[in-house]
Structure 1
Amino acid sequence: MEKNLGLKSVHHIAIICSDYERSKTFYVDKLGLKVIREVYREERDSYKLDLALNDQYVIELFSFPSPPQRPSFPEARGLRHLAFSVDDIEMAVKNLQAKGIKTEIIRVDEFTDKRFTFFEDPDGLPLELYEV
């Protein structure tokens, strides 16, 4: 008999950035995530920034010296993108664009009939807005 692992939710997503201050500004000032904790780990020459969305811990932002580039196009194996749910996609897109963040056109998911769009973080990591 198989045992259930007892998974309850996604605890966090870890992101490694190439420019810590630029990514911190993007996720905190532009996307509005809240800083829970920021630590500099001298032995690794690395920052670790814990971020929350609606007071729920969701993202660990790391810096490391000279991280390799992430293959993105054509799509590579691994995490494809990170999606954020929104109530009003048009308002969210307008807010992103007002902050200088380019978005793709709003599309409709053919299976759910929900609207979505994509944009990128400073390192080209694909991010999605998905209207719920």
Structure 2
Amino acid sequence: MNKVHHTAIICSNYEVSKQFYLNVLRLEVISEVYREERQSYKLDLALNGDYIIELFSFPNPPERPSRPEACGLRHLAFEVDDLEKTIAHSKKYQVIAEPIRVDEFTNKRFTFIADPDDLPIEFYEK
């Protein structure tokens, strides 16, 4: 294996999630297509030019537990330079971060926000 290629996310409200990933997380659009046969959008997103997320919409997707302690994908984590600046940016979009924690093994600071479908997103300070 070489690297993680991408993470696929199915959202319940495409326009709301699209705005979250573009504005709050500041990801860049690589391509966006509507697949009529599936009644589904597929939005390819990049971070600093690297393809990282496929955002999908499907009619009536089932709910899935997504808190960090639920079985399955625990969370998405993004490295950030300045945790306070990142938290302040999120707050502009009414996205509230949990209290800052400190990793007991690395002594690095981190926090969590949630995407519109309550998927945990971690910001981990460099």
Compute the TM-score of the two structures, normalised by the length of structure 2: 0.96
Q: Distance in 1 between matches of 2:120 and 2:50?
A: 21
Instruction: Report how far residue 75 of structure 1 moved.
Output: 2.9
Deviation at 1:76, TM superposition (A): 2.1
Residue 8 of structure 1 is matched in structure 2 by 2
Please give the TM-score of this superposition, normalised by the length of structure 1.
Answer: 0.92
Distance 1:72 1:30 in 2: 19
Which residue number in structure 1 is paired with residue 98 of structure 2?
A: 104
1:78 to 46, 66, 72: 72
**Equivalent AA in structure 2 for residue 76 of structure 1:** A
Q: How many residues align?
A: 126
Paired residue secondary structure (1:113): coil
Q: Does 1:56 align with 2:87?
A: no
Change (3 A) 1:82 1:74: closer
Distance 1:30 1:74 in 2: 20
Are the aligned partners of 2:21 and 2:27 in contact in 1 as well (CA < 8 Å)?
Answer: yes
- Taking the TM superposition and a 5 Å limit, the aligned residue runs for 1:18-29 are 18-29=12-23
Identity of aligned residues (%): 65
Compare CA radii of gyration and give the structure with the larger one. 1
Distance 1:89 1:75, change over 3 A: same
Q: Render the CA deviation track for 1:14-54: whole Å, top value 9, x for unaligned.
A: 00000000000100122211000001000001000000010
Q: Which residue of the other structure, out of 84, 87, 106, is the alignment partner of 1:90? A: 84
Query: 2:36 matched to which residue of 1?
Result: 42
Stretches of structure 2 that go unaligned for 5 or more consecutive residues are: none
Unaligned stretches of 5+ residues in structure 1: 1-6
* Match of residue 119 from structure 2: 125
Q: CA deviation at 1:73?
A: 4.9
Contact 2:67 2:74 in 1 (8 A): no
